[in-house]
Structure 1
Amino acid sequence: MNMALTYSPTSTDWPCQVKNPGSYDWERSAARWLRELVPARYASYPALMRHPVLLARHAQIQVQHEMRVARTALQTARAELPALGIPESVIEHTIKMYAAEVLQLQHIARSIRAVSQALIDNGTTRAAH
C-alpha cells in the first residue's frame, strides 16, 4: 500500500468528518471516521481500535476490495443481468450506480491515504520528542 500521499486538510481528499491535524481531538475524529469504513465486527478488535494507523491500513484494504467488487459488478452487468430477467432500463440504472460507486470508493481511498499519512506524520513527531 502506497502511503506516500502528502496530506492537506484543505484538499478535496481530506474528509470533512475529520478535524484538521494538530487540532484538539483530531486523531479521535480520524479513528471514528475510519471505523465507519470497516465492517462493524472489527470494532471488537482492540489492536485496531487502539492504533488508528492500523485501522487506516485495514480501511484502505477494505475499500480496495470494495472497488474490485464494484468494478466486477460493473463489467459483468450487461452480460449477466439479462439472464436474470432484469429489464434493460434497470440494467442501465444499475450500470450507472456501479460506475458512481467506483468513483466514490476512489475518493474514499484517497481520503484514507491522506488521513493515514497525517496519522503517521503525527506519530513520527511524537516519537521524536
Structure 2
Amino acid sequence: MVQLVSPPGWPGQVRPPGAPGWEGTAVNWLLDICPPEFRGYPVLRRHEVVLARFAVLHVEACQAAVRRGLSEARSVLRDVADADTVERAIETWQRESARLIAERRAVGLVEEALRGRRFVARL
C-alpha cells in the first residue's frame, strides 16, 4: 500500500499527491489563488504545471508589492492618514506578508508535486 504524504505547508484544499483526483483539486486551488482572469486562458486550464508556474510568479509579485508597501507606507500615507491609521496599515502589510510566505511555500510544493515529486514521511 502506498502512503500518501502531504508535506508541512501543503494546502488543506488539495488532496495529497497520488490520491485519486488530486490534480483536479490542485488546479482548482491554484485558480482560486490567481487573478480571476487566469480562468479565461485555455492553456492554464489544460496544463496544470504551466498554471502552477503562473501561480508561483503571481504570489511572488504579491510579495514584492507587500515589501514595497511596507517600505514606503509611512512616507506615502503620512499626508493622507493619521499616525494610528498608518500604523494599522503597516500591521496589515505585515499580516499579508506572513500569509504570502505560507502561500508561496504551498504553491511551490504543489508545483513540485505536479512536476512529479513525491514526498516521503519523515520520522
Normalising by structure 1, what TM-score?
A: 0.84
Q: Does 1:33 align with 2:33?
A: no
CA distance in 2, matches of 1:115, 1:42: 17
Say whether residues 1:62 and 2:65 are aligned partners.
no
Q: Partners in 2 of 1:104 and 1:33 — Cα distance? A: 16
User: What secondary structure sits across from 1:108 in the alignment?
Assistant: helix
Residue 41 of structure 2 is aligned to residue 45 of structure 1: yes
CA distance in 2, matches of 1:77, 1:45: 35
TM-score, normalising length: structure 2: 0.88
- Could you tell me which runs of 5 or more consecutive residues in structure 1 were left unpaired when the two chains were aligned: 1-7, 123-129
Query: Aligned residues, how many?
Result: 113
**Residues 88-126 of structure 1 deviation map (CA, whole Å, 9 limit, x = unaligned):** 11111110100111111111011011011111016xxxx
| Structure 1 consecutive aligned stretches of length 4 or more whose deviation exceeds 3 Å | none
| Residue of structure 2 equivalent to 1:9 | 6
Paired residue for 2:105, among 105, 110, 125? 110
Partner secondary structure for residue 109 of structure 1: helix
Superposed CA RMSD: 1.1
* Equivalent residue, structure 2, for 1:71: 67
Letter in 1 for 2:88: H
Percent of paired sites with the same residue: 32
Structure 2 unmatched ranges of 5 or more: 118-123
Helix, strand or coil at the partner of 1:121: coil
